[in-house]
Amino acid sequence: MKKILGLGNALTDVLLQVTDDDLRELNLPKGSMKLISMEQAEAIQVRFANVRRRMVAGGSASNTITTIAQLGGKAAFIGKIGNDEVGDFYRADMLKNGITPLLLESEKMSGCSIVLITPDGERTFATYLGAAADMHADDIRKEAFIGYDIFHIEGYMVQDNELIEKAIKMAKESGCMISLDLASYNVVNENHYFLKELIKKYVDIVFANEDESFAYTHLNPEESVHNIAQQCDIAVVKVGKRGSYVQQGDKMYHIGAITTSCTDSTGAGDLYAGGFLHALSDGFDIRRCAEIGTIAAGRVVEIIGTKLSEETWDEIRRICAMYRGFMLKYNV
């Protein structure tokens, strides 16, 4: 089984259930990710002081890496935290989930992502990066990539062009396959040219949802996945309740979503990527990879937050084992 290394913002998620009116009053576009100051983060938490909340270790790439580790994969994560209680919580959570934490420390406070969840399950992120934003190109060391086969990056990191390009070049030099999640349509819009060049030169796998793929290609999902697949080895476009499209070379599949009740879509794309990459690291074809990703995503939208129960993880592990047994029996 291949080993997977992730790079992303080490953020602790603060989950709040709000209304559409709340988002309008906060001037936060629904479904977007907006960077905020420490003062804004404190103001939002004061506003919703009486609203029930949950705190979990998160961040897009971290959620993906956690999924891989939970499914039995070998995974590590590079991020930056503060020397504080939240940073200690973050490190402990990674160790608990079987992840090798390659965490750097900053003098700044650990970052957090306030996840505002509306009644339709849509999530809007107000993110204070804190220590996470203190990671720079000089922090990246070539030895971190030794022994890993796949390097997965969250799209939010591309806003530091120098950092992401250096990390990807080092990963490529170490023989890693490069996986990139486009993260958010506004990130794509703001970094369109850089992403185009990055994907064409270095990236092997691209994950995008419908809005992100449209921002990148200005095409509908089926045309978009074909377009992206001309620029890299594997392209994935997720279309929510309609499932996902995945293409490698001339092979394109539409994978339907599993029937589920959507309570909160936080982390759905991250867990999809985690399921997909774990299956890929275990030798599955792209159709089976997409099916495993779909199951993981379908289970996480049923709950608030991104932390599945052990029973649910066991269910997904059994499905992976069933697929693996089928592959061995029929030599496919």
| pLDDT at position 264 | 73
Judged against a pLDDT cut of 60, whether residue 332 lies above it is answered with no
How confident is the model over 86-121, as pLDDT tens digits?
Answer: 899 899 999 999 999 999 999 998 998 888 999 988
CB 64 within 8 A of CB 205: no
Q: Which two tokens stand for residue 310?
A: 């052990």
CA 62 to chain centre: 7
- Please name which of 51, 171, 167, 45 lies closest in space to residue 113, comparing C-alpha atoms: 45
CB 277 within 8 A of CB 150: yes
Reported residue count of the chain is: 332
C-alpha 171/C-alpha 141 separation (Å) is 10
Q: Output the CA–CA distances (angstroms, integers) from residue 289 to 144, 235, 281, 296, in the order listed.
A: 26, 12, 9, 11
How many other C-beta atoms are found inside a 10 Å radius of the C-beta of residue 145? 22
> 16 pairs with which residues across the strands?
53, 116
CB 149 within 8 A of CB 281: yes
| pLDDT at position 38 | 84
CA 150 to chain centre: 14
The CATH H-level (homologous superfamily) assignment of domain 3-8+60-99+138-330 is Ribokinase (3.40.1190.20)
- Enumerate the domain spans of the chain: 3-8+60-99+138-330
C-alpha 2/C-alpha 13 separation (Å) is 29
Give the torsion sign (CA, 211, 213, 218, 224).
negative
Q: State pTM to two decimals.
A: 0.87
Q: What are phi and psi of 18, to 5 degrees?
A: -130, -175
| pLDDT at position 23 | 93
How confident is the model over 8-42, as pLDDT tens digits?
Answer: 999 988 888 999 999 999 999 998 888 898 888 88
Q: Residues 7-27, buried b or exposed e (16+ Cβ, 10 A)?
A: bbbbbbbbbbbbeeebbeebe
Judged against a pLDDT cut of 90, whether residue 129 lies above it is answered with no
* Angle, helix 268-281 to helix 60-70, in steps of 10 degrees: 50
Q: What is the mean pLDDT of residues 308-332?
A: 81
- DSSP β-ladder status, 205-209 and 234-238: parallel
| pLDDT at position 94 | 94
